[in-house]
Amino acid sequence: MKTMTLAAIASAALALPALAQDIANGEKEFGKCTACHAIIDDDGEVIKRGGRVGPNLYGIIGRPAGAVEGFRYSPALAAAGEQGLVWDIENFDVYSQDTTAFLREYLGDSKARSLMTFKLRSGGDDIAAYIASLSDATE
């Protein structure tokens, strides 16, 4: 079931016209995330100030889910990472729209829950592209 539904989502996304992510818009939209998340590079330089309720999002794109050292994730997000979930622009966008629904679908577990309660209506792909651009620029 998980594979079929995720495949259907991916097929629908591929059927839409390809839209380039807007990094500048992602930087602006990241303001919605700063209540809980900061972006701090590997050297400790603060790129975007934010809360510490959520994990540091520096380098999150390309990283397995639940992999920020020292952060306590929900059991569901940790399980998704253990099952191979690696963040990319597309799945970060879908996840940010409804984190619990995403995890339930990914894990095939109707009881899975996310600790993140905020639902981003749109712009998750731009935010992900913005975050990715920060780590790419420093490598």
What is the predicted pLDDT for the residue at 11?
44
Long-range contacts of 10-18 (CB under 8 A, 24+ apart): 10/90, 13/90
Rounded alpha-carbon distances, angstroms, from residue 39 to 14, 33, 66, 83: 30, 10, 16, 26
- Write the pLDDT tens digit of every residue in 83-104: 999 999 999 999 999 999 999 9
Per-residue confidence (pLDDT) for residue 135, from 0 to 100: 85
pLDDT at 138: 39
The interaxial angle of helices 89-97 and 124-138, nearest 10 deg, is 140
Mean of all residue pLDDT scores within the chain:
87
Binned at pLDDT 50, 70 and 90, residue 21 comes out as confident
Architecture of domain 25-138: Orthogonal Bundle (1.10)
Residue 20 token pair: 């380039």
pLDDT score, position 129: 95
